[in-house]
A = this chain, B = another copy of it.
Amino acid sequence: MTNIISVFDTTLRDGTQGEGISLSADDKLKIAQKLDMLGVHYIEGGNPGSNSKDIEFFQRVKALKLNAKLTAFGSTRRKFSQADQDSSLLRIVESGVPAATLVGKSWDFHVHTALQTTLEENLAMIYDSFAFLKRNQVEAIFDAEHFFDGYKHNPEYALSVLRKAQDAGADWVVLCDTNGGTLPTEIHDIVTRVRAELTTPLGIHTHNDCELAVANTLAAVQAGARQIQGTINGYGERCGNANLCSIIPNLQIKMDYRCVSDQQLESLTTTARYISEIANVNMPVGQPYVGNAAFAHKGGIHVSAIMKDSKTYEHIQPNLVGNKQRILVSELAGQSNIISKAQELGLDVNANNEKTKQIMERIKELEHQGYQFEGADASLELLLRDAFGEMKELFKLESLKMLVEKNNGSMNAEAIVKVNVAGQTVYTAAEGNGPVNALDNALRKALVQFYPSINNIHLADYKVRVIDEKDATAAKVRVLIESTDFKNTWNTVGVSSNVIEASWEALVDSIRYAMMNMDKVDSSEDQPRVRLGLVNH
């Protein structure tokens, strides 16, 4: 048997069933691009036609020219109807996707209770639906819902369901542990039996209700499954889906299977962190492989052993998945990515240089305070350029005052800003829909006479996160701002116990970063063409 594993990502479909996860069409497009770079083979985008967000996604994703196969999700046809008149199946074909997943019942109890039809009609629904997809040249994946529960209650019926899909030409039969209640030994035994009964390649789709989704996926692969379905960071309904961020390295580093290239595997950590930022879900610090503490060592015996040989307390080399070792009590944490970032900017850094050591100290100190430069490239670049004396001070805040007021009705916000720009003190006031908007308006008003292009900058995203909820009386927030001039996009960060101050910091960085590039932009013909709105919070 081949050792090549087909990776099917359903972050954009099953992942969005997770509590608190809600993705816009823009979010979905960004995530699809990242997944494609990671090298997954199938990206399940959603249910075309189920809502306007998914329709927009399926239309716009074509322009991205992904390597991965975009996959639509749907169900087998309705009971007692025609597949070629089923609006949901028709919409899948019309969406032009190369592959589609249809879910169907394989547990007799569900056929009776949820579907409320006969066992025979369920078989016909499956056969007709897959025959329809294959007539329309769509790669067809059968998600056999509740297969393991179904098999345990009525193995013959569960197997006959799979055979129907196979007979109709399904390209994959995926066995789903929908309720997440099955144990690895059961998975192994049942997949082994199915292998003996079917010729169609098998896939596995597990849920984490027993904290066994990863183990169950591995057990199925060991028994012969060759497609793994899961989500980044294990997002999904209830306790989540199988976590691809753990499954892929387990299979590839420890079990001699091939999922993605070794180079793609090195992007696993940034992919996981990027998607957690887009989804606005805190990543558990101890998440296996990709978490911030996955290779962190506290003081004492472990650290001294690690320094002799990191194999003493690390099960793999962290760089294989793009993560890094962190020694919580020492200064030796690998910051090679910062050095390479600085080199990318043409700054004279190397690990032995005194200035580089100072910068490392400064970054460590800021990270300790709660800054996170992973999602804030522009702030990191400013920090590095400042340290190397490459930035002129373009403006300086002298004072700031803000008033927010509510009198039966909507809230008003006003900001008063005193800024020194190029030796001149400018005093401005502005209103806004919210305090950050008011601040932004006042600051721009002060700067626009000197830098007219500033009005081309547009806020693309604004996120706030509590970073030390443990200590509520001194809790800090981290604000991440994404800005764009419609050619480039940049991200900045601010941290404070005051959300206004943190927003102000990120805002100032965003504008400084834009101004740094403005000299060039202003003198070329290639000016941004669009006059855009301002930030509004």
Binding site for B on A (CB under 8 A): 16-20, 22, 24, 26, 51, 109-110, 113-114, 178-181, 183-185, 208-212, 214-215, 218-219, 222, 234, 236-240, 243, 246, 249-250, 254-255, 280-282, 284-289, 291-299, 301-302, 304-305, 308-309, 311-316, 328, 330-332, 372, 374-375, 397-408, 410-411, 413, 433-437, 458-477, 480, 496-501, 504, 532-537
A535 to B309, CA, bound (A): 45
A506 to chain B, nearest CB (A): 12
- Determine the chain B residues whose CB is within 8 A of the CB of A461 once the complex forms: 466, 469
User: Given B26, B178, B407, which contacts A399 in the complex, CB threshold below 8 Å?
Assistant: B407
Whether A287 contacts B496 by the Cβ 8 Å rule is: no
Of A19, A24, A219, A461, chain B has the most CB atoms within 10 Å of the CB of A19
- Determine the chain B residues whose CB is within 8 A of the CB of A402 once the complex forms: 402-405
A461 to B466, CA, bound (A): 6
A254 to B180, CA, bound (A): 12
Residue of B whose beta carbon sits closest to that of A186: B254
Whether A475 contacts B305 by the Cβ 8 Å rule is: no
- Determine the chain B residues whose CB is within 8 A of the CB of A467 once the complex forms: 24
Q: List 5 A-B contacts (CB under 8 A).
A: A114-B301, A181-B316, A183-B254, A184-B184, A475-B536
Whether A434 contacts B496 by the Cβ 8 Å rule is: yes
- Determine the chain B residues whose CB is within 8 A of the CB of A476 once the complex forms: 536
- Determine the chain B residues whose CB is within 8 A of the CB of A411 once the complex forms: 400, 496, 498, 500-501
- Determine the chain B residues whose CB is within 8 A of the CB of A288 once the complex forms: 180, 208-211, 239
- Determine the chain B residues whose CB is within 8 A of the CB of A500 once the complex forms: 404, 411, 413, 434-435
Of A17, A408, A469, chain B has the most CB atoms within 10 Å of the CB of A469
A434 to B435, CA, bound (A): 12
Whether A246 contacts B435 by the Cβ 8 Å rule is: no
Q: Assuming the A-B contacts A313-B179, A413-B498, are A185 and B470 also in contact, with contact meaning beta carbons closer than 8 angstroms in the complex?
A: no
A268 to chain B, nearest CB (A): 13
Whether A19 contacts B375 by the Cβ 8 Å rule is: yes
- Determine the chain B residues whose CB is within 8 A of the CB of A297 once the complex forms: 237-238
Residue of B whose beta carbon sits closest to that of A474: B536
- Determine the chain B residues whose CB is within 8 A of the CB of A474 once the complex forms: 433, 536
A57 to B219, CA, bound (A): 43
Q: Assuming the A-B contacts A297-B237, A298-B19, A411-B500, are A309 and B113 also in contact, with contact meaning beta carbons closer than 8 angstroms in the complex?
A: yes
- Determine the chain B residues whose CB is within 8 A of the CB of A410 once the complex forms: 498, 501
Whether B237 contacts A404 by the Cβ 8 Å rule is: no
Residue of B whose beta carbon sits closest to that of A434: B498
Whether B404 contacts A399 by the Cβ 8 Å rule is: no
A250 to B211, CA, bound (A): 9
- Determine the chain B residues whose CB is within 8 A of the CB of A311 once the complex forms: 109
User: Given B246, B292, B403, which contacts A210 in the complex, CB threshold below 8 Å?
Assistant: B246
A214 to B499, CA, bound (A): 39
A328 to B16, CA, bound (A): 13
- Determine the chain B residues whose CB is within 8 A of the CB of A497 once the complex forms: 433-434, 437, 536-537
Whether B499 contacts A435 by the Cβ 8 Å rule is: yes
- Determine the chain B residues whose CB is within 8 A of the CB of A180 once the complex forms: 288, 315
User: Given B17, B114, B460, B471, which contacts A469 in the complex, CB threshold below 8 Å?
Assistant: B460
A24-B469, A281-B470, A463-B464 provided; 18 other pairs, C-beta below 8 A? A19-B285, A20-B480, A110-B312, A113-B312, A114-B305, A114-B312, A208-B286, A215-B215, A237-B297, A237-B299, A239-B288, A398-B408, A406-B501, A433-B497, A434-B501, A435-B500, A472-B533, A472-B535
Residue of B whose beta carbon sits closest to that of A406: B400
Whether A179 contacts B114 by the Cβ 8 Å rule is: no
Whether B19 contacts A537 by the Cβ 8 Å rule is: no
- Determine the chain B residues whose CB is within 8 A of the CB of A287 once the complex forms: 239
A16 to B332, CA, bound (A): 10
